[in-house]
Structure 1
Amino acid sequence: MNLFKNSRRLLLTIVLLGTLTTGALGGAKFDLSTRAFFKMHCLHCHNSEKQKGKFRLDNLSTDFTNPLVAEKWSEVRFRINAGEMPPEEEKQPTANEIGGVVDELTRQIREGAAMRLAKRGSLEHYRLSRQEYAHTIYDLLGVVYDVEAPSTFNEDPRLHGFDRIGAMLSVAPSHIERYLQAAEAVVEQALTDSATPTKTDRRMAGEGKRQLLQLGESWSFDLQHPGRYRLRIRASGLPAFTGRIPHLSIWHRHHKRSFDGVDLVAAENDPKVIEFEGLFPAGSYDIRNHARTQKHANGAYKLFRNQLIDTTNSVAVLKTRHPSPWTKVVDEQGRPVMPLLLIDWIEIEGPLKTEADLAKRKGLMPANEKDAVEIRTCLKHFAKRAWRRPVKDAEIEPYTNLIAAEQKAGESFKSAYQSALASVLVSRSFFNLEEGSPDKKRTRLNDFELASRLSYFLWSSMPDEQLFAAARSGKLRNLGSLGQQVDRMMADPKINRFLESFPKQWLQLHRVGMFQPDPKLYPEYDPWLEESMMKETTAYFAEMFTGNLSLREAIDSDWTMLNSRLAIHYGIPGPHPMGFTRVKLGPKTGRGGMLTHGSILSLTSDGTRHRPVHRGAWLSEAILAYTPPPPPPNVDPLEPVESNKPKTTIRSQL
């Protein structure tokens, strides 16, 4: 019976089914060499009769799932690793013996922490991360809510790069206030968005003029309302004579990141119309040219201002605000010395209203505000979707009572009903993932809990109607049905949320750019290069996932995902791809596998030099799933080699 067509599907199903039950938590057992170490070097000073430092070791529990016990063993590990124990007058263990005991204690502490995180009570609830909250709001109501805007949600805490560790996502009083603000804004937008007209606004550079963008300069526009927009831009893109292609990017000023972009090559007399469509938060945006070039030998300056140029003239020269009144932007052969963008106009259409988004709000508002049955039905339908489970009539009663109370206080029905909808979104059942029952102990997820676990794993959001239907049928946990749902969900565009977020968290790519490279040493480093390096890694992971490739290719391969910017940066000969494309590598490029990606190499450097020790620690944690113990406090850091001394490698210094 071919239930699983490939290993990818089998892996996902095993992961999901492996979370259905919980085992008993037992005490740890040390290996023979560790027990011998304690007997030889520790127990004669820390036993029932003698406790140096008021510390007894012979009866110390080995239940590392107990945080107090784990803390005491961490202290033991620290003392041994620092060379404080055993004391100098006692027989000293070898470095290998110390290393073995420290490794064993580290393993036990980590395993105990993992088991502690996995331990379940009768009712467990985990707060949605802020990205999960945003995706859930959109999939529930078709509303774009900007969770990164000021006064919304703080950044979620991370553990080993992951921001979706349930034990880390606690709820503080400040969260409730922000959930209430968010709920009111979301409901208001959901009920009024349908009435907001779709507008088309075109901004021209000027009659007979073109906007020249270069060297990180921009042309700005604002979006007053969040939502789905279609942006059209007519522009020419002139590559530099070095081969560098201009990159047109839609940059959000507050978020300080690109929401979309494209490499553009189009002749000055044959501009192209580029179209972007997607979900955009409100705010100020820049159309940017991410190109960056240093001063050229023929006199081109490093920085320019945006200028309007006459379309009847050549772009061979450009008047600027620099001391020199004229600056060349092409060389003597008429070739641009830097990538240039010439913008004719931008057209903004939106907020767009798709049938799919409007369908999410169907039945949200009762047609007859006097019909108590219809009001209850609409509220219950909304609560079932928002809470991702069946809802009892008694659970809806507080919300109908709220409507009645507000109307009695003089509020309109619409205002009172909006308050009830917002209250549903402030319920713990919405902003938490709940598993278990408060009235009974069970060791298996029910079908609705399994549906939510599956959807938040693959989509970072709530189940869709097909997944809800499978849960209602009671057959979701059946391997055949579960396998079908996994296949369907991985074919859905929402899988891109997983393909984008998982490698960033797993490989800790949020640290890329934390240490900006020294511009004197790396003058070509710019935001587009940094963005391209991260996209290379996420695109590589997506290619492996969708192609069901061997895990070995994560370490070694004869291909990678490149755009023109990275191809030039890596020195890989053309033709250079316009967007991210799978490119076969030559035998001497040294770029196969993710470990050679610019993103990985940059996050393990300090902006001026590589850091082999940090790189090794990252490799151990992210790839080998082993977090090295902290270094002893008496080890001095490596200092840079002074310029008047012979050069030496990090290995030699160590």
Structure 2
Amino acid sequence: MNRVHSWTIIASLILGIGAVNLFAAADEPSQPAEVAQPPASDGETAKQPAAEQTPVVSEEQLTQWQSGGWAMLQKFCLECHNADYQEAEIDLTPFADVAHAESDPEMWNRVLQMIRFGAMPPDDALLPTDAERSELSRSIDQAIYSMTCDLRPKSGRVTARRLNRVEYNHTIRDLFGVELDLTGDFPSDEVGGGFDNNADVLAMPPMLFEKYLDAAEMVASSVLLDPESLKKETIEMVGERLAIVGEGFTESFYGRIFPHESFAWVEFEIETPGVYRVRVNGSGATDKQQEQPIAVYDGSGKPLLAETFKFGDGGGNHSATVDHEFAAGTFRLLVATLPETPADLSELAAFDRIDRLDEEALAAGRDQFEKSLTIDREIPREELAFLLRKVIVEGPRDFPQEMLPPSQSVIVQRVATKRGNDYVEVERAAKLCLEPLIRRVFRGPVDEETLGRYVGLVKAATDRGASYHRGLQDAITGMLVSPRFLFRVELPAPGVEPDEGGEFRLTDHQLASRLSYFLWSSMPDEELLGLADEGKLFEPEVLANQVDRMLQDPKAASLGSQFAAQWLGLRNLDSMTRDESKFPEFSPELVASMTGETQRLFLDVLRNNHPAGELLNADYTYLDAALADFYGITLPSAADASDANVVDTDDNGFVRVSLEGSPRRGILTHASVLTLTSFPTRTSPVLRGKWILESILGTPAPEPPPNVPELEDAGEDTSSLPMRQQLVIHRENPSCSSCHRVMDELGFGFEDYDAIGRYRGDSDIDASGELPGGRAFTGGRELAEILRKTENARFATTVAEKLLAFGIGRELNPNDRCVIEQIIGLSESDDHRLADLVKQVVVSRPFQYFEAESGVYHESE
């Protein structure tokens, strides 16, 4: 498509939509889709949202805080964090009053993490016992969050969210049923809060819009083929190109005339496959035989056409046509007389004299093709039946059926009639094609004015001399670069006012999109859109049933490849290397198998609604042949499957197998995670412990203090010492000790696996340790079981936080803490089952509501 023409299309569509700033600066996040609200005028009081109101602190709450949490803060923390000596720029003295404690929830969240993590107080200070640490955490948590959770939590402001690369590809796939590599040369999507669907980092710089335009044009030309774009050819066969099997004569103007016993044949080459029009010109051979039925057969003898020709036909030659699909290659057509015209072509049998067209007859005919014919002067017309003037093959008029994409018949509901060089009733035909499509492209209802703009593109194309199908391609391109397609814009419906908290509930169609992009990373299907059309999607039973249905759909595999892969960091495996001399078996293929195992276990736990904690100690896994060999596990044969605990297989060769007798349990002993948390040449207890704290227990480790050397730069040669002794020396620095105290113990628990996750249960490997509270273990399997048993709630909390952030497309803030606590509280009695956590996210306020200024309306208005 001509680029100037493309931009003309885009400009005509974008003007008047205006819901999104398409060209946000490349180095700035996309801005919230909202209109600035002017300050309240004199005498007017702005409504204060409920969650921003200052909570009222009771005398009982104040007493509990001062005798509990505040007393322990004074004992263990105020020596460093006071007004005179503000270590890390934190002064805790103002928070003797619990009402002030609520004013900075982010700071307190960090304090909580440091205390729970064991990083504070440092080793050179007065240290609390495990029981005191737990009580201090509980007291701060209750004081800071219980008051705000008594109020309505805020859902958060809406940001116009661009489809990321995966969402774009999936949406095109589900719109048109085609798999296209559209975003391979797109810039990588930025990541915010661990996920690449974070609205605040999904900007739309002009360069990226150019790529979306290129992709839209590729999609339009792939899902809808234009017959007018086909290379046309006309093959006219006359005279010497008309061969006769049997007796035949050459008449004036080189017509070929033959009796009933003979037949004619032609041979020709087709370069471009497609539907061609075959035209036969001729007449009866004599005026005594006013009508002569004939048939046209293909090279195999199958009848294509039966027609009655008249002698002279009023002074001219009769013409009969049939459309037939040809592939590329060499083809023959046969013309023979019939005793009578059949009532229907289906009654006509295959040509019964095809055997006469043997190699000798073919050679004779082809020899004739190269010579000039001599007109016969004496022709016994009374004995002859048919005069064949010419056979013409024209086309292709359309693509062969097998070349048409499935979307062609879905999109093209009607073709505008062409009279001469002009199309008529274009708008009517185009509307029938585009109306059902645009509803799916824009993921909701579309008004007549908007639809009319795209119908107008089709009319504009035919007015300038382009084909009707080319006009439909222009309309599809326009839709695919519209802000309503490229962005998920959530604004209030026309006339809807915010609730008392200043928030709006999503419309049913907005909920359908949130749901589908959460669970499928793609657009809503017809069932979701239909329920949204009916206004039923918010009904609790309907919504729960839809979540169940969607999780069982194959498209929910994106929760493994998108959500789980990003949460656990599996995407980083693709860029990792290993020392070939130490790990020669490490390869991209093995990495793919590693990633596949973890994603499939996640999907199994999700789809079967097992407890989320099963991810930590599952006694089964999914292996393909390569990973099974790497683990030293024999995959069962098909004959042994029923006896080997095989529950499921997929088309990529993964089999669900039992881990009975294996040293592995859950994702912590997956090769993917163990490789991810190692260096190219060796394991790293620090990396592994840090990963567990952050990704499993939701407690990010603090940044190391300044001027603290790495192990390799510690000032003395410790490289020959075992890793455990190197870290003991490292922890002699009090600034390091507090963090490494827990982190290293977690990491050492998995030292019985090497840097690519291979089990190495050698006797000289010390994989023992002890977590706070006397939780001793030896090896990764025991540690996985301990974490499952003692950290189940913390792990479920981490999963819920990650699910909510991924589902709403933004980083969580302190206000969301109350929502997470509610989700965990509701799921606790049934062991925090994973699909139940997903359902709780879907019904949560941040998922179903958003903040926006009053008077800002949905883009369809």
Alignment TM class, shorter chain as reference: 0.5 to 0.7
2:722 is equivalent to residue 647 of structure 1: yes
1:97-176 → structure 2 map (5 Å cutoff): 119-121=155-157, 124-150=159-185, 153-176=186-209
State the match for 2:237 in structure 1.
none
State the match for 1:617 in structure 2.
690
Q: What's the CA shift for 1:446?
A: 1.5
State the match for 1:268 in structure 2.
none
Contact (CA 8 Å) 2:224, 2:405: kept in 1 or not?
no
> Which AA in structure 2 matches 1:126?
R
1:370 aligns with one of 421, 424, 430: 424
1:431 aligns with one of 486, 495, 516: 486
Q: Bigger shift: 167-176 or 381-390? A: 167-176
State the match for 1:564 in structure 2.
625
State the match for 2:473 in structure 1.
418
Deviations 1:72-120 (A, max 9, x none): 9999x99xx9x9x99xxxxx965779x9999989x999xx9xx9x9754
Deviations 1:221-249 (A, max 9, x none): xxxxxxxxxxxxxxxxxxxxxxxxxxxxx
> Which AA in structure 1 matches 2:447?
K
Contact (CA 8 Å) 1:161, 1:507: kept in 2 or not?
no
Q: What's the CA shift for 1:625?
A: 2.1
2:585 is equivalent to residue 500 of structure 1: no
For residue 394 of structure 1, give the secondary structure of its aligned residue in structure 2. helix
For residue 418 of structure 1, give the secondary structure of its aligned residue in structure 2. helix
* Unaligned residue ranges in structure 1 (runs of 5+): 1-21, 87-91, 198-349
In structure 1, distance between residues paired with 2:228 and 2:674? 50
State the match for 2:51 in structure 1.
24
Residues 365/574 of structure 1: CA separation in 2 closer, same or farther (3 Å cut): same
2:663 aligns with one of 574, 583, 590: 590
For residue 622 of structure 2, give the secondary structure of its aligned residue in structure 1. strand
Residues 35/406 of structure 1: CA separation in 2 closer, same or farther (3 Å cut): farther
Residues 184/571 of structure 1: CA separation in 2 closer, same or farther (3 Å cut): same
2:552 is equivalent to residue 491 of structure 1: yes
Q: What's the CA shift for 1:478?
A: 1.2
* Unaligned residue ranges in structure 2 (runs of 5+): 1-48, 58-64, 231-399, 639-651, 732-861
State the match for 1:190 in structure 2.
223
State the match for 1:452 in structure 2.
513
State the match for 1:461 in structure 2.
522
Residues 490/363 of structure 1: CA separation in 2 closer, same or farther (3 Å cut): farther
In structure 2, distance between residues paired with 1:636 and 1:364? 73
Residues 63/147 of structure 1: CA separation in 2 closer, same or farther (3 Å cut): farther
Residues 73/509 of structure 1: CA separation in 2 closer, same or farther (3 Å cut): closer
Residues 179/559 of structure 1: CA separation in 2 closer, same or farther (3 Å cut): same
State the match for 1:384 in structure 2.
439
Q: What's the CA shift for 1:430?
A: 0.5
For residue 495 of structure 1, give the secondary structure of its aligned residue in structure 2. helix
> Which AA in structure 1 matches 2:170?
H
Aligned-CA RMSD value: 4.8
2:576 aligns with one of 515, 531, 534: 515
In structure 2, distance between residues paired with 1:194 and 1:643? 74
1:252-271 → structure 2 map (5 Å cutoff): none
Contact (CA 8 Å) 1:126, 1:434: kept in 2 or not?
yes
Q: What's the CA shift for 1:651?
A: 4.1
1:306-325 → structure 2 map (5 Å cutoff): none
Residues 644/380 of structure 1: CA separation in 2 closer, same or farther (3 Å cut): closer
Q: What's the CA shift for 1:596?
A: 0.2
State the match for 2:83 in structure 1.
44
TM-score w.r.t. structure 2 length?
Answer: 0.46
Q: Bigger shift: 433-442 or 382-391? A: 433-442
Q: Bigger shift: 599-608 or 378-387? A: 378-387
Contact (CA 8 Å) 2:564, 2:599: kept in 1 or not?
yes
1:321-400 → structure 2 map (5 Å cutoff): 357-358=407-408, 360-363=410-413, 369-371=423-425, 372-400=427-455
TM-score w.r.t. structure 1 length?
Answer: 0.59
In structure 2, distance between residues paired with 1:71 and 1:410? 66
Q: What's the CA shift for 1:387?
A: 0.5
Contact (CA 8 Å) 2:223, 2:405: kept in 1 or not?
no
In structure 1, distance between residues paired with 2:201 and 2:532? 28
Contact (CA 8 Å) 1:402, 1:420: kept in 2 or not?
yes
Contact (CA 8 Å) 2:593, 2:627: kept in 1 or not?
yes
Q: What's the CA shift for 1:136?
A: 0.7
Contact (CA 8 Å) 1:555, 1:595: kept in 2 or not?
yes
2:707 aligns with one of 620, 634, 653: 634
For residue 24 of structure 1, give the secondary structure of its aligned residue in structure 2. helix
Percentage of pairs with the same residue:
31
Residues 634/575 of structure 1: CA separation in 2 closer, same or farther (3 Å cut): same
In structure 2, distance between residues paired with 1:171 and 1:23? 34
1:179 aligns with one of 212, 215, 220: 212
> Which AA in structure 2 matches 1:24?
A
1:529 aligns with one of 585, 590, 603: 590
Q: What's the CA shift for 1:392?
A: 0.9
State the match for 2:356 in structure 1.
none
- Report the number of matched residues: 456
In structure 2, distance between residues paired with 1:351 and 1:553? 50
In structure 1, distance between residues paired with 2:466 and 2:213? 19
Structure number with larger C-alpha Rg: 2
Residues 476/56 of structure 1: CA separation in 2 closer, same or farther (3 Å cut): closer
Residues 572/396 of structure 1: CA separation in 2 closer, same or farther (3 Å cut): closer
Deviations 1:250-305 (A, max 9, x none): xxxxxxxxxxxxxxxxxxxxxxxxxxxxxxxxxxxxxxxxxxxxxxxxxxxxxxxx
> Which AA in structure 1 matches 2:215?
A
Residues 415/518 of structure 1: CA separation in 2 closer, same or farther (3 Å cut): same
For residue 656 of structure 2, give the secondary structure of its aligned residue in structure 1. strand
Q: What's the CA shift for 1:161?
A: 3.8
In structure 2, distance between residues paired with 1:25 and 1:375? 51
Deviations 1:609-652 (A, max 9, x none): 11112212211222112222222223221118958844341542
Q: What's the CA shift for 1:528?
A: 2.2
Residues 637/193 of structure 1: CA separation in 2 closer, same or farther (3 Å cut): farther
In structure 1, distance between residues paired with 2:700 and 2:229? 52
Q: What's the CA shift for 1:420?
A: 2.8
For residue 436 of structure 1, give the secondary structure of its aligned residue in structure 2. coil
Q: What's the CA shift for 1:547?
A: 3.1
Q: What's the CA shift for 1:394?
A: 1.9
> Which AA in structure 1 matches 2:710?
P
Residues 457/645 of structure 1: CA separation in 2 closer, same or farther (3 Å cut): closer
For residue 560 of structure 1, give the secondary structure of its aligned residue in structure 2. strand
In structure 1, distance between residues paired with 2:519 and 2:171? 13
In structure 2, distance between residues paired with 1:643 and 1:45? 40
State the match for 2:351 in structure 1.
none
In structure 2, distance between residues paired with 1:411 and 1:23? 58
Q: What's the CA shift for 1:137?
A: 0.8
Q: What's the CA shift for 1:470?
A: 1.1
Residues 426/644 of structure 1: CA separation in 2 closer, same or farther (3 Å cut): closer
1:479 aligns with one of 537, 540, 548: 540
Deviations 1:462-518 (A, max 9, x none): 111122111111112112222332333233322233343332122110111433111
> Which AA in structure 2 matches 1:424?
M
Contact (CA 8 Å) 1:142, 1:358: kept in 2 or not?
no
For residue 462 of structure 1, give the secondary structure of its aligned residue in structure 2. coil
In structure 2, distance between residues paired with 1:173 and 1:562? 44
Contact (CA 8 Å) 1:46, 1:56: kept in 2 or not?
no
Q: Bigger shift: 474-483 or 361-370? A: 361-370
2:680 aligns with one of 607, 615, 620: 607
The structure with the largest helix share of the pair is: 2
